[in-house]
Amino acid sequence: MQLHALRLLILALMAAPGAAPPEKACVVSESAIASELGAGMFDCGGNALDAAVATALLLAVTHPTAGNVGGGGFMVVCLPDGSATTFDFRETAPLASSPGMFLDGNGNYDADRHHSSILSVGVPGSVAGLHLAHSRLGKLPWRDLVAPAVEVASKGFRVTKGLAASLKEVLPQMRKYPASMAQFARSGEPLREGDLLVQADLARTLERIRDEGAKGFYQGETAELIVKEMERQGGIIRHEDLKRYQAVERRPVQGTYRGFEVISMGPPSSGGIALIEMLNLLESHDVGSLGVRSVAESHILAECMRRAFADRARLLGDPDRVDVPIAKLISREHAANLQKTISLKKASKSSPESFEWPREGSETTHLSVVDRGGMAVALTTTLEMSYGSRIVVPGAGFLLNNEMGDFNPREGLTTEGGLIGTRPNRVEPGKRMLSSMTPTLVTRNGKPVLVVGSPGGRTIINTVLEVIVGKIDHRLSIQAAIDAPRFHHQWLPDRILAEPNCFSSEVQGALESIGHKIETAKELQGSVMAIEIRADGSTEAGVDRRRPDGGAASR
């Protein structure tokens, strides 16, 4: 299929996005349109990396909730020869950042400044990261991967049910930003399902990225538009911040679980380390003999979550600035020592004053891709909150992130409510903030068997854990593992946050009787997009039904 034929496919999909039944090459994402057009790269002779990059750029158009041009993320890749690599394009703190930038004039923590102001915007990394990954592993010309996103942004697409609902919810926070309202509202009202969303400014930004690569974003007109808006609102990102930004190729973190290899993202993401640490703890328990969300299974999962998140808070940060003890944290010895502190009959207690355990005898989007040649890609990108800072750059058409909110607000400010004030993740100029994104590949004998990831902030790590446990221990289909109810524990606050109807009343009562505090979440947890690869090479896509717009496409 040549690009003119791909454009015809784009036009056909404007009215009715859909998904083909999975075969051997597969894309699954939170936008059925993006999945289908991303899979079109296979028809053009592209590989999984090409499809992943094209899909990610399309998500910037069709899934603005996590529209990644103004954000950042991580990519984990398994190559046909069984080797693996990762790409880190996490945002960075501007050069004018300082540890006290989120405190008011009296030295008190200001949550609005931390999460909802122009100061919450980190230097974006997605364009640099996608371009770097393509330069290393892509087959098709870069401009061919960007062209579909340009086409959809310029010609428009029909607003889906999920997008319409999210715009209605977020519009009150956008009203103070004229460019955001101009893009996502009509006469002050949010776009409705079926409306045509044309994003001409975003199309021009994507054209510059198409024609000039990463320079088309970090230099020239797009950079000028970013800096102009920063200066207008009192932000601190300048041309030098954009020019200096570099994506990084890094080694993955790797572990094993019941005969499978687990390949995930290392720091500055905490996801891979925490996931492998929890799997190491779980391996000594016969989880498969316990019922899904039974008292025994839920208790041991919560205790493993509690300990991994305490280590996350205490030790993890940007590996270019902090000496992260990766080998120790993912070691069997560390798991064995922690195992001694877990009681099967009583919940532990989390405390902001201590990381010691009593010894008793604890908005983002993800896409997954596989191709017929054996390459697999897990890619998670984010703006942080839904629609990030809610600020659309005037004239550039994309939303800015609010990722500075992932830095610890003030050193020493660790509270029972969940604020963390440990040193490794404090704000420093040019530093990458800690993340929970957990794009993960599960392989056997070097061959991919599962590609998985999810949005959801700190809940991401536990969501990925629960899907892997559902698939490997409980032997569920990938769709059933995704559909299973989820819960989350993150050390502080000291409680289990559970989806509605996660636990029966009997199970909840039994968990509370051994010391767990349980709170019902106001929102469903995560949105997993996963692919299972069978022994014969065929694929089964799992699309999280917690969100309505996702879809899979295959070739």
Asked whether the beta carbons of 84 and 254 are under 8 A apart, the reply is yes
DSSP state of 451: E
Those residues with Cβ within 8 angstroms of residue 352's Cβ, 6 or more apart along the chain or in another chain: 414, 415, 416, 492
Residue 264: beta bridge partners?
253, 440
Asked whether the beta carbons of 31 and 61 are under 8 A apart, the reply is no
Q: Which helix (H) or strand (E) holds 157?
A: strand 157-158
Question: Can you state the angle between helices 220-233 and 200-212, rounded to 10 degrees?
Answer: 130
d(CA 340, CA 54): 47
Name the residue among 476, 478, 454, 467 with its Cα closest to residue 539. Answer: 478
Cβ atoms < 10 Å from Cβ of 345: 8
Instruction: Tokens for 214, please give them.
Output: 């990463």
Amino acid identity for residue 384 in this structure: E
Q: Is 459 a catalytic residue?
A: no
As a three-state string, the secondary structure of 277-296 is HHHHHHCCCCHHHCCCCCHH
d(CA 304, CA 276): 11
Asked whether the beta carbons of 324 and 317 are under 8 A apart, the reply is yes
d(CA 154, CA 359): 61
d(CA 460, CA 218): 29
Catalytic member of 55, 65, 92, 364: 364
As a three-state string, the secondary structure of 22-55 is CCCCEEEECCHHHHHHHHHHHHCCCCHHHHHHHH
Those residues with Cβ within 8 angstroms of residue 74's Cβ, 6 or more apart along the chain or in another chain: 86, 87, 88, 89, 90, 265, 269, 379, 380, 435, 437, 439
DSSP state of 441: E
Asked whether the beta carbons of 385 and 115 are under 8 A apart, the reply is yes
As annotated, the active-site residues are: 364
